[in-house]
């Protein structure tokens, strides 16, 4: 059973996200690994979200124990965690992760960096021995869905990213990008994206400093100047723009260092500092210095333009279709035990008859005919099982073979989380996990019954039953899937 606990810019305040991101991954892994009923977990931690994707045993209530383990590992009280965490139940997890991976839940909707972060999260969990077959399938399918969004829509081709949003906000401060002197502090995941965004604006005077000593290698790879520790003060005093993107997990630009730089002769009248770190890289007191403006992630997300739902509609439909197909495949896999049990039962009866027939027909003709008949009889029930699984009626199949053949011991195909697994946050905000069915408007994609996630904003996604080949909605524009 796949579950998710999510704290993101939509559910948690910046201070909680900062504390979560500062935690040691190994400590979290150790605590979650020890929770009874948890078979695997993938931790996705970015600058605007902290999420656990959990593979838990069916029928086991693990969330209270997981929250307690998170509290111990993160040093955050369960009460505070519950206020910022949103619980995503099993039937919602695929669509939620696919939407996250496609950038539909990012601060900058459609950003491309998140897909790489999701991929690395899976790799880190795999290296730690924390993945399961279900988690591997989930995350690999999420990457495939993200590629589909990139290839079939313009959403990720518009250069959207958190870095570009920050530079857009800096337009009023930087009068001429071509002459601006920029200092990068940090060589983390955002450093390359930041450099590319600066170059696209015509910036040519960029240098880089790394608190961990990686500046020389980064500078050589990107053709810019490296700043050693002894040169940092001079670089700060001459910069028009400072962008920090370090993964050091601590303050790398404090008030005293910046104040010293601002007292140096020949400094520019004003300097803009953009803090892309999570947890923050820059001491907030820096903003109190004369001539210094500070733009951090908390401020950036408050100034993000409203999402253009029209531009993201095709992407949401692709994500919904991928989630529907994933769930159908999972349901088929869960029903395979029942199919195997039926096949074993019928084949067992057939083999008894074959054994008797062979005593009367040494040529084996009767045996061949009986086996062919057995396969013919089993073909239609096997096909129907897959059809019923895909339409959420697998339990009917199980009950039918129990009633007709007395076959018991097949697995329950239900994937709903136990009712007592709803987090305190969800209990306090009923709308956060409420699922309300609605009818899509005429011409709208029938895979979508409401606006996109998060859960407190979206209704239930319904699989499209209108056609076998693909979506027929005018607004969908999603190509017919291959192999149908």
Binding-site residues from annotation:
46-49, 106, 111-113, 117, 186-191
Pairwise CA distance, residues 5 & 84, whole Å: 10
Name the token pair of 261. Answer: 């730089």
Alpha carbon of residue 140 to chain centroid: 11
Q: How far apart are the first and last CA of the chain?
A: 28
Catalytic annotation on 47? Answer: yes
Give the E-state strand segments of 398-453 in sequence order: none
DSSP conformational letter for 161: -
8 by DSSP, 3-state: which? strand
DSSP 100-119: HHTTTTSSSTT-SHHHHHHH
- Nearest Cα neighbor of 155 from 218, 102, 211, 229 is 102
Q: How far is CA 77 from CA 68, 81, 82, 421, in A?
A: 9, 6, 9, 18
Q: Of 4, 47, 445, 464, which one is the catalytic site residue?
A: 47
Pairwise CA distance, residues 393 & 387, whole Å: 8
- Nearest Cα neighbor of 11 from 51, 62, 61, 65 is 51
- Nearest Cα neighbor of 86 from 11, 1, 2 is 11
Pairwise CA distance, residues 464 & 71, whole Å: 41
Pairing of the two strands 271-275 and 292-296: parallel
Annotated binding site for NADP(+): 186-191
Pairwise CA distance, residues 165 & 190, whole Å: 13
Within 10 A of 318 (CB to CB), how many other CB atoms are there?
A: 30
Annotated binding site for substrate: 46-49, 106, 111-113, 117
Pairwise CA distance, residues 182 & 203, whole Å: 8
Contacts of 416 (CB under 8 A, 6+ apart): 89, 90, 91
Give the E-state strand segments of 386-465 in sequence order: none
Pairwise CA distance, residues 429 & 230, whole Å: 52
- Nearest Cα neighbor of 421 from 122, 85, 16 is 85
Q: Annotated catalytic sites, by residue?
A: 47
């Amino acid at each position: 059973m796949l579950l998710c606990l999510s704290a993101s810019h939509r559910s948690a305040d910046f201070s909680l996200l900062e504390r979560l991101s500062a935690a040691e991954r190994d400590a979290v892994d150790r605590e979650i690994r020890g929770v009874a009923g948890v078979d695997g977990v993938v931790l996705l931690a970015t600058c605007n979200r902290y999420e656990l994707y959990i593979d838990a045993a069916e029928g086991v209530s693990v969330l209270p124990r997981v929250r307690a383990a998170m509290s111990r590992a993160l040093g955050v009280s369960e009460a505070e965690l519950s206020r910022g965490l949103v619980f995503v139940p099993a039937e919602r997890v695929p669509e939620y992760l696919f939407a996250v991976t496609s950038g539909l839940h990012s601060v900058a909707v459609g950003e491309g960096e998140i897909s790489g972060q999701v991929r690395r999260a899976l790799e880190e969990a795999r290296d730690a021995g924390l993945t399961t077959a279900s988690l591997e399938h989930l995350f690999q399918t999420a990457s495939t869905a993200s590629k589909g969004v990139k290839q079939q829509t313009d959403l990720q081709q518009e250069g959207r990213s958190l870095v570009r949003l920050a530079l857009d906000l800096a337009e009023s401060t930087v009068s001429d990008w071509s002459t601006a002197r920029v200092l990068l502090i940090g060589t983390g995941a955002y450093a390359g994206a930041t450099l590319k965004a600066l170059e696209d604006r015509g910036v040519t005077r960029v240098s880089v400093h790394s608190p961990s000593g990686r500046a020389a290698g980064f500078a050589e790879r990107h053709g810019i100047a490296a700043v050693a520790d002894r040169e940092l003060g001079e670089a700060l005093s001459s910069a028009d723009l400072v962008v920090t993107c370090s993964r050091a997990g601590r303050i790398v630009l404090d008030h005293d260092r910046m104040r010293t730089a601002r007292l140096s002769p020949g400094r520019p009248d004003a300097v803009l500092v953009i803090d892309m770190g999570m947890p923050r890289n820059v001491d907030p007191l820096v903003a109190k210095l004369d001539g210094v403006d500070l733009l951090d992630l908390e401020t950036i997300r408050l100034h993000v333009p409203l999402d253009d739902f029209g531009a993201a509609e095709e992407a949401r439909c692709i994500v919904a279709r991928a989630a529907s197909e994933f769930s159908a495949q999972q349901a088929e896999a869960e029903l395979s035990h029942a199919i195997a049990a039926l096949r074993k039962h019928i084949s067992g009866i057939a083999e008894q008859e074959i054994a008797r027939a062979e005593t009367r027909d040494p040529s084996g003709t009767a045996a061949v005919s009986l086996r062919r008949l057995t396969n013919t009889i089993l073909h239609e029930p096997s096909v129907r099982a897959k059809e019923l699984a895909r339409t959420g009626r697998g339990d009917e199949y199980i009950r039918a073979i129990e009633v007709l053949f007395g076959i018991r011991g097949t697995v329950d195909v239900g994937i709903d989380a136990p009712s007592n697994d709803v987090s305190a946050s969800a209990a306090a905000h009923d709308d956060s996990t409420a699922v309300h069915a609605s009818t899509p408007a005429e011409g709208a994609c029938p895979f979508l019954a409401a606006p996109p996630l998060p859960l407190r904003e979206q209704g239930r996604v319904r699989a499209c039953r209108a056609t076998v080949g693909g979506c027929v909605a005018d607004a969908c524009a999603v190509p017919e899937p291959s192999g149908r």
